[in-house]
Structure 1
């Protein structure tokens, strides 16, 4: 298998099965995709809509078309990256290993004496698998490995490796079994210092680090103070995000995961276990009891120290106290769920200062990212994960990239946003006579409307039900207060037809949408050109205004995409449409942006196909263009320029070998960079080039060197 040019994530369902995906292959091939990236495809529980509840890992799902259907799909010519779930399986009568007591003990992390078993997070009907056992590994992976050997599957995406007893050992076993290309769903902390991927035999992660970097790049740091003050005024919350997150993690450790903490105490009865689980600054550490203290990295030791755990517990976690190996393993398997449920699924719904930042793989307290820091992150990717995936949306993201891009614009107009929220709260006061929703919930509603406008009532209601229950302030999944939820939903839905509000909101939302679209295009171009393998989530080649699951798994209009791609492919080098409307919410405005985004994706992927070595192996070389412009060379063949903010008067400072003729790949301006003169101010380097003379109307340039003109 060659390294993918680009992957395309497909969420398989009985309605979108292997046969249906086969029909999409010509379209995806024309788009420039090299590999399908399929959601779990082994036999899952009856009626499963996602595939993560596998009940028979020895067979391919008949509901999706069976093994014959999968092999037929592979024969269509696109490679396949398959999502695999080693950590857990669905329980119940459909799972013959769960139904058999003897087999249950062998296969699952299960104690027959008291009936305890390791869960996936807090989901009782997903039970942890003992994949660290060679026989269990064979049972659960022989079919997948057969598909890899036969060339049906080219690479694997590993779901939740942090839940495994021995992630490194598991990944080595995959490599030794012949799986050459693996990507892991590993969430790396973006806090300082930035967490590094362990030294695993993998291509890289599934790309959440890039998602966070791209989002933060387009959040204006100048707006932080105003947005922080607005959030505090509406909620009374003045603590920084880490303090809010610590509180929610402790809450989760002592309630939702009380059974897991109690289990740990049966293995080692010392104080501070719940607090240590909650205070760990990363998802987990990777101490290997079989190797002893030497297996801990410096990052592991630093994380244990940062947890503030009692000395005795820290010594145990560092494997300095023999006899507690099982405790250490179970502790390391428990901390990721505490982090995920405490931060992503609770604190993210409480600390709503700027929802664009509340995303998997990102921390809301990292408000912005400088151009210099982005370059450093990209150079690190080039050196350490040159073939890691790059994403802006997945089935697990809280919001699509296009929604985040709109909301991120608020930092650039922070004072206007503050004033607008104040006005709207006054205009809409009559809709909340009982004070519901509260300030934080109302702020969430306004940001959501801006990000996803126009939105239907049913989608808004479904989002709010989930957001309210995840926040766990007035209602929860375990104890829902449907009356309270109904009042919040009633308020939000009323806004959709409240004319005094709409008269003020819609013009503001139109401005935000226009700026957000420019940001979304810029982030898309970066995804398609920086070091790594770009992944396109299903449908996201057009504007995708999706909220959290299940909203992001809505049906895709494939026919519209086929038709638009045919039009775009016939146009000149992906040139932007000329029929853009001043109203971004009109049919014409939406159509024009869809064509623009699709043309950008198509043109960039075509260039990747023509210059595969440049993008898969070529160096990443930053080009100085000031604090508001991202500019870089890929090898010496491709020049990318992306205006972030305040770039209108900036200038590129090309290196000596950039002199020559450059042709736009996206229908923008071509560029001639003269050779330098030793007597000028640049000392023989090419002269500075104004950014405004390089980028198009959206602040973008993707240029290919003309070799015959060097």
Structure 2
């Protein structure tokens, strides 16, 4: 493997193929990058814009330039780390293993009794793969391992390992097959340690939250908490909102998965157990528990959950808790609890106000000792906001009184724009924080974000039961702010101050990313200012 100095993440698609990336190599080399970090590049569903819906893992995507294009890119002067998706594949006729019913039950995790299949989260056209089966592993990994053996690839990024029946066993098999440099997209809760797996580390979400938390002023916690509770009329802590959302997911969206668990073994209270688990999942394997597994089950109030349970129940429970957590916390509660949006990002805990210098140093020490090649990110394709936008919102913690004064005034100035209760107080606070984070912004970009945020929050509309009239009234309110002179007269001078403070914080975070233990990753375009 070439010297690993820094990675540059590229999201490939119709507008960015292997030959396009090859043209960027001189620029990236001058930037100090040693490795390209490519999004999934095996054959995905026709028209895919992201590559995570693979339909043929035995071939490199022709739409991206084919295997020849990838091999030529590997010879252009930078190493390559490739994102792969072992947990699931895209369904449909393009996937020949899905189209053949006999192959489907061999390759995919199908419930023989009901015909339902394990999904990637709640996405029906992404079906779980039985990668724990050696033959299925060989089918889905043969091409990638060939590219590794030929030196085309230097390393792999593993998407969603928590969905697998046996993450540790999978990673051991991958290492034994020749994958020496592997990073896992493991979402660690604050203070949760990565298990002793044969990997270089995670993709870096824990660093993202640590470095952002370092730039959150402790003095802002009380006034901004009081302001939030005053404006939205809800004093419940984040943990309560998160539990409510997780329980809702377990009883509705993932009802089929819970019922399958119950048919295997029913210790009672499965929905509560899934919702109350304080981490994404446990990793009990062949009856062997780590101390962290015992602690997590005890925290969920179910230390005996796996007592007398067959291994299939244990494995499937551990595969089910991650989507319940992700959809309940990151894709719901993060849009309901709005105390300070800088704290609401992947792997973060909005109930934890910042990170002390001592805590930051301790995290660096652990990384240097255990996973010195772990990636360090401040932005990815999955983060809720760009690093620059997040830094702006974080800067509000150091100007809490001024922010409170302005927001209260904005509520008054814009009251006439509210139509039939839309947006409500909660949604208005989301809009004002968002405008500060990304100003200036077009109506089109703002509309797209508002629609997503409203549906994710699942308060007045959602993805399944969409209230288009409510959504349009909220969009109209937000759009009107862009030309509302009384509002802009107060807003624009203030956001200029926030932008300066935010840029200082963003540069400070960048400096740390480039110098603390670990490998800095730059998301495409993030070497420039990105307010998204």
Indicate the SS of the match to 2:346.
Answer: coil
1:23 corresponds to = 23
2:251 corresponds to = 254
Residue 435 (structure 1) shift: 2.4
Residue 483 (structure 1) shift: 0.5
Aligned equivalent of 2:304, options 287, 312, 315: 315
Return the alpha-carbon distance in structure 1 between the equivalents of residues 382 and 188 of structure 2. Answer: 15
Matches within 5 A, 1:489-638: 489-546=475-532
1:634 corresponds to = none
The answer as to whether partners of 1:223 and 1:412 remain within 8 angstroms in 2 is: yes
1:206 aligns with 2:203: yes
**Which structure has the larger Rg?**
1
Return the alpha-carbon distance in structure 1 between the equivalents of residues 479 and 262 of structure 2. Answer: 47
Matches within 5 A, 1:78-117: 78-117=78-117
1:165 corresponds to = 165
Residue 54 (structure 1) shift: 0.2
2:389 corresponds to = 403
1:464 corresponds to = 450
Return the alpha-carbon distance in structure 2 between the equivalents of residues 127 and 234 of structure 1. Answer: 42
C-alpha distance after superposition, 1:475-510 (max 9, x if no partner): 010111011000000000100000110000000000
1:356 corresponds to = 342
Residue 263 (structure 1) shift: 1.1
C-alpha distance after superposition, 1:198-242 (max 9, x if no partner): 110000000001100011100101111111111111222111111
The answer as to whether partners of 1:358 and 1:364 remain within 8 angstroms in 2 is: yes
Indicate the SS of the match to 1:152.
Answer: coil
1:150 corresponds to = 150
Q: Which runs of 5+ in 2 are unaligned?
A: none
Indicate the SS of the match to 2:304.
Answer: helix
Return the alpha-carbon distance in structure 1 between the equivalents of residues 217 and 253 of structure 2. Answer: 37
Indicate the SS of the match to 1:315.
Answer: coil
The answer as to whether partners of 1:283 and 1:339 remain within 8 angstroms in 2 is: yes
C-alpha distance after superposition, 1:152-191 (max 9, x if no partner): 000000000000000000000111011110000000011x
1:339 aligns with 2:339: no
TM-score by length of 1: 0.74
Could you tell which deviates more after superposition, 364-373 or 458-467? 364-373
Matches within 5 A, 1:179-218: 179-190=179-190, 194-218=191-215
1:391 aligns with 2:377: yes
1:277 corresponds to = 274
Return the alpha-carbon distance in structure 1 between the equivalents of residues 164 and 362 of structure 2. Answer: 31
Residue 433 (structure 1) shift: 4.0
Indicate the SS of the match to 1:534.
Answer: strand
Runs of 4+ in structure 1 displaced over 6 angstroms? none
TM-score by length of 2: 0.99
Aligned equivalent of 1:240, options 237, 242, 260: 237
Return the alpha-carbon distance in structure 2 between the equivalents of residues 25 and 3 of structure 1. Answer: 16
The answer as to whether partners of 2:217 and 2:397 remain within 8 angstroms in 1 is: yes
Return the alpha-carbon distance in structure 1 between the equivalents of residues 153 and 23 of structure 2. Answer: 18
Aligned equivalent of 2:219, options 209, 218, 222: 222
1:126 aligns with 2:115: no
1:298 corresponds to = 291
Return the alpha-carbon distance in structure 1 between the equivalents of residues 530 and 138 of structure 2. Answer: 40
Indicate the SS of the match to 1:56.
Answer: strand
The answer as to whether partners of 1:6 and 1:32 remain within 8 angstroms in 2 is: yes
Number of residue equivalences: 532
The answer as to whether partners of 1:3 and 1:387 remain within 8 angstroms in 2 is: no
Q: Which runs of 5+ in 1 are unaligned?
A: 547-710
Residue 3 (structure 1) shift: 4.7
Indicate the SS of the match to 2:241.
Answer: helix
Return the alpha-carbon distance in structure 2 between the equivalents of residues 111 and 276 of structure 1. Answer: 22
Aligned equivalent of 2:474, options 488, 507, 510: 488
Indicate the SS of the match to 1:124.
Answer: strand
C-alpha distance after superposition, 1:503-555 (max 9, x if no partner): 00000000000000000000000000000000000000000111xxxxxxxxx
Indicate the SS of the match to 1:83.
Answer: strand
1:660 corresponds to = none
Residue 111 (structure 1) shift: 2.7
The answer as to whether partners of 2:3 and 2:34 remain within 8 angstroms in 1 is: no
C-alpha distance after superposition, 1:398-433 (max 9, x if no partner): 001000000001111111111101100111111114
The answer as to whether partners of 1:82 and 1:155 remain within 8 angstroms in 2 is: yes
Return the alpha-carbon distance in structure 2 between the equivalents of residues 433 and 395 of structure 1. Answer: 34
Residue 316 (structure 1) shift: 4.4
Residue 18 (structure 1) shift: 0.4
Residue 29 (structure 1) shift: 0.6
Aligned equivalent of 1:329, options 304, 312, 315: 315
Return the alpha-carbon distance in structure 2 between the equivalents of residues 493 and 360 of structure 1. Answer: 28
C-alpha distance after superposition, 1:335-372 (max 9, x if no partner): 00000000000000000010000000110111111111
Return the alpha-carbon distance in structure 1 between the equivalents of residues 336 and 295 of structure 2. Answer: 28
